[in-house]
Structure 1
Amino acid sequence: MPFTHLLLALIANAAWAFNFIAGKAGVAHFPPLLFTTLRFALLVLLLLPWLRPVPGQMRRVLLIAVVMGVIHFSMIFGGLAAAGDVSSVAIATQLYVPMSVLAGIWWLGERPEPRRLLGTAIAFAGVLVIGFDPVVFLHPLALALIAGASAAFAGASILMRGLKGVGVFTMQAWIALAAVLGLTPLTLLFEHGQAQAIATASWLEWGAPAYSAIGSSLVGHGIVYWLLKRHPVGVTAPLMLLSPVLAVIFGVTLWGDQLSWKLVVGGLMTLAGVAVINVRWPLRGTRP
């Protein structure tokens, strides 16, 4: 991969990593469902030119949009609101990788290689270790929500395998629309103080949903989609392992997270498991 493409991968990782900081700052002011709604309201406006029907695939597109927009992202930002830190959330979101392996076995009857099963076990064990960290142990709802968000993402990933010829921005536009339509009544029913939060938000607080929509969705996903069109998945996917590492660094340096040995060990185990699943090692005696 050329150096410029590696630099783009680094930018995408940083964009996704900083989204955890933006999200944590956003839900500190806005209720989480409202924050998610505002994020996607901006995104759907930006992606209106790509909001077009997908003939013959709309049922699947809409199902993915609901699972991702209404379930996955509301749980992610709900988890950030409930969490005591950013780092544990960033690492726990990697659960979607082993969960995708298990979803493939359950729904598609796939028979993964032994190394993928080993990676799945290591990743889950790592999250269990993280769960006993004092900061995480005091906020079990956060870990439960992130696990639920990861399961939703895994399910959506299985559904996405059946899509053909649907661009990343078209799919994101439908996800954004589903989120706005689905989460608006939910925030009105289950949250309070929305009007005050909107009226009192500073430009910095408005910047949180704006960054989450533009920096994470448009820049981050856009770059990765561009790279995937030019390089194999086996080359591009492992590069994205840097995102949770950068998120932990941002959490410590920008948000004041305190790293305990349980979070470090559990995080390394989780990332190692994800790496075992994603990285295809060359056979001995062959050229990489």
Structure 2
Amino acid sequence: MPLGHCLLALFVTVIWGLSFVVIKIGVGATPPLLLAALRFAFAALPAVFFIPRPKTGWRYILGYGFFLGIVQFGLLFAAIALGMPASLASLIMQAQVFFTILFAALLMGERPSPYQIVGGIVAFLGLGLIAWPRLAGSEAVPFLMTVAASAAWGVANIVSKRAGRVDMLGFVVWASLIPPIPLLGLSLWLDGPAQVAAALSHLDLKALASVAYLAYPTTVFAFAVWAYLLSRYPAATVTPFALLVPVAGIAGASVILDEAMAPIEAVGGAVIILGLAINVFGPHLVQRPGPA
């Protein structure tokens, strides 16, 4: 992958890492599924009137909108509302790296290199170091919801690859049309019409700022760039960059939310970075110059 695309992938990981902090702030004032519905409604409108529909089948647009918007973010927002810390959520969601590589191998015949396998194992150990102490009692339910959300992200990555080389900005914008109504319906069912109406009538600056950040930098820009990279490079090359998302998530949660970062989390973060380095740079570090 060229350096420019590597830097673009890193920028996306920072945006996504900070988005977990924004979600935590947003669900404190707005029902989680309603917040998710507003996120995708703002991402789709009014952009869908100005951006042409991508030249790909409707099944890919519907599939991406379903797995990314309804399943992934419905579960994630609900898990964070149930008490999942933003820092831990940003870590657990990176299991999508392994889900994506697994699904790409099973469904698309992509085979990860030995360096990517070793890097994935190292990064998984880093995730395990951070997640293991928290897997107990009532924290298990939001944790499992977050793992399921990361699996849905892996499926969405495969759908975007199946869609081919299309206009990924248009792909993300048009796919954002799918989640709002189902998510709103789920919120009306689970939270009740009275709570949804009250939340909509009392949207404050904090809630609106959360929706704006989640709709535009996080959804329209970041997912369009991510889908663009996945359409041009193997999943095992692109997805390991997402292992830096928890680094930004932990840092942001520590500074903005005062979530304490334990020493084991710092060690786990360092192990994750090592795994990313092995995934991305391992083959280049051992290359030997050929004969003149």
TM-score, normalized by length of structure 2?
0.82
Structure 2 residue runs of 5 or longer lacking an equivalent are: none
Aligned to 1:253: 255
Distance 1:118 1:236, change over 3 A: closer
Which range moves more in the overlay, 204-213 or 83-92?
Answer: 83-92
The alpha carbon displacement at 1:135 in A equals 8.5
The alpha carbon displacement at 1:252 in A equals 0.4
Please tell me the root mean square deviation across aligned C-alpha atoms, in Å.
Answer: 3.2
Contact 2:39-2:214 within 8 A present in 1 as well? yes
Between the aligned partners of 2:136 and 2:221, the Cα distance in structure 1 is 30
Which range moves more in the overlay, 198-207 or 134-143?
Answer: 134-143
Whether 1:117 and 2:117 are equivalent positions in the alignment is: yes
The alpha carbon displacement at 1:97 in A equals 0.8
Contact 1:104-1:110 within 8 A present in 2 as well? yes
SS state at 1:40 partner: helix
Question: Could you give the per-residue CA deviations for residues 73-94 of structure 1, whole angstroms, max 9, x where no partner exists?
Answer: 1122222223342111112211
Which range moves more in the overlay, 33-42 or 209-218?
Answer: 209-218
Between the aligned partners of 1:122 and 1:128, the Cα distance in structure 2 is 10
Distance 1:116 1:14, change over 3 A: closer
Whether 1:266 and 2:231 are equivalent positions in the alignment is: no
Distance 1:253 1:205, change over 3 A: same
Aligned to 2:218: 216
Contact 1:41-1:176 within 8 A present in 2 as well? yes
The alpha carbon displacement at 1:9 in A equals 6.1
SS state at 1:139 partner: helix
Contact 2:126-2:267 within 8 A present in 1 as well? yes
Which range moves more in the overlay, 39-48 or 157-166?
Answer: 157-166
Contact 2:96-2:150 within 8 A present in 1 as well? yes
- AA at the equivalent of 2:248: L
Q: After superposition, where does 1:1-288 map in structure 2 within 5 Å?
A: 11-48=11-48, 49-50=50-51, 52=53, 54=55, 57-134=57-134, 139-192=139-192, 193-221=195-223, 228=229, 241-282=243-284, 283-286=286-289
Structure 1 residue runs of 5 or longer lacking an equivalent are: none
Between the aligned partners of 1:70 and 1:222, the Cα distance in structure 2 is 17
Task: State percent identity of aligned pairs.
Answer: 24
Between the aligned partners of 2:218 and 2:139, the Cα distance in structure 1 is 26
Which range moves more in the overlay, 268-277 or 173-182?
Answer: 268-277
Question: Could you give the per-residue CA deviations for residues 43-78 of structure 1, whole angstroms, max 9, x where no partner exists?
Answer: 1103212352635x2223322221111111112222
SS state at 2:179 partner: helix
Distance 1:267 1:6, change over 3 A: closer
SS state at 2:261 partner: coil
Contact 2:169-2:221 within 8 A present in 1 as well? no
Between the aligned partners of 1:64 and 1:106, the Cα distance in structure 2 is 19
Distance 1:256 1:135, change over 3 A: farther
Contact 2:237-2:280 within 8 A present in 1 as well? no
The alpha carbon displacement at 1:262 in A equals 3.2
Question: Could you give the per-residue CA deviations for residues 184-237 of structure 1, whole angstroms, max 9, x where no partner exists?
Answer: 2111112231112222231122211111101212343456678x59x9789977
TM-score, normalized by length of structure 1?
0.83
The alpha carbon displacement at 1:273 in A equals 3.4
Between the aligned partners of 2:55 and 2:225, the Cα distance in structure 1 is 23
Between the aligned partners of 1:277 and 1:6, the Cα distance in structure 2 is 13
- AA at the equivalent of 1:286: P
Aligned length: 283
Between the aligned partners of 1:99 and 1:272, the Cα distance in structure 2 is 20
